[in-house]
Copies of this chain bind each other. A is one copy, B any other.
Amino acid sequence: MPKAIKKEEVATLEIPLDSKDLEILKLLQENARITIKEISGKIHLSTTPVHERIKRMEESGVIKQYATLVNHEKVKKGLMVICYVSLKQHSKNAGVKFIKTIHELNEVVECFSISGEFDFMLKVICKDMNEYYDFHVNKLSQIENMGHLQSIFVMGVIKQTHQLVY
């Protein structure tokens, strides 16, 4: 007798993405505001299946977010800094506290836990060097349990994309 599938398992059962799903994702990645009509024209399907596939990908979490990306300079956020952080203590509690603080800092747009001599890599975005200095001295350095800190300044953006499906 086959093993029974629990209700929770059914809900999270992964439906693999077929080539049409990937085509839809490709178009959506580039332009989140593309119309279903336009997609259906391009991938040779009527609006109904396109709509259903998008809804399915939204519900299953394949589509994480429809985001609007703004021009850094035009909103006065022209400075980007990569910041490496090591903590003094590595207890679970110390880590949790650090992560909580990072989430509260709007200047930190990315934070990864990494391999190597440092514990975390941060991407910090702010207006200019004065603002970064203030952030570094008064916010980052003040975090409890903060160990070493190293800043790498981004001088130019060569490439920046969100195209994971290609």
Point out residues on A near B: beta carbons under 8 Å. 14, 17, 25, 28-33, 60-72, 74-75, 77, 80, 82, 99, 102-103, 106, 108-116, 120-121, 125, 152-166
Q: Which residues of B contact A102 (CB under 8 A)?
A: 158-159
Q: How far is the CA of A163 from the CA of B166 in the complex (A)?
A: 25
Residues B106 and A163 in contact, CB atoms below 8 Å apart: yes
Cβ–Cβ contact B29 & A32, under 8 A: no
Q: Give the chain B neighbours of A110 by CB distance below 8 A.
A: 157, 159-161
How many angstroms between the C-alpha atoms of A80 and B33 in the bound complex? 27
Task: Report 11 cross-chain contacts, Cβ distance below 8 Å, ordered by A residue.
Answer: A17-B75, A29-B70, A31-B66, A67-B69, A75-B165, A77-B164, A82-B121, A106-B166, A114-B152, A115-B152, A125-B164
- Cα A115 to Cα B132 with chains together (Å): 15
Residue of B17, B75, B116, B158 touching A25 (CB-CB under 8 A): B75
| Chain B hits for A72, CB < 8 A | 164
Check A120–B158 contact: CB distance below 8 A.
yes
Determine whether the beta carbon of A112 is less than 8 Å from that of B64.
no
Known pairs A31-B67, A112-B156 / 20 extra A-B pairs, C-beta < 8 Å: A14-B74, A25-B75, A29-B70, A61-B74, A62-B70, A62-B74, A75-B164, A82-B112, A99-B158, A109-B161, A110-B157, A110-B161, A112-B155, A112-B157, A113-B157, A114-B153, A114-B155, A115-B153, A120-B158, A121-B152
Minimum Cβ distance to chain B for residue A19 (Å): 13
Within the complex, which residue of B68, B160, B161 is in contact with A66, where a contact is CB–CB below 8 Å?
A: B68
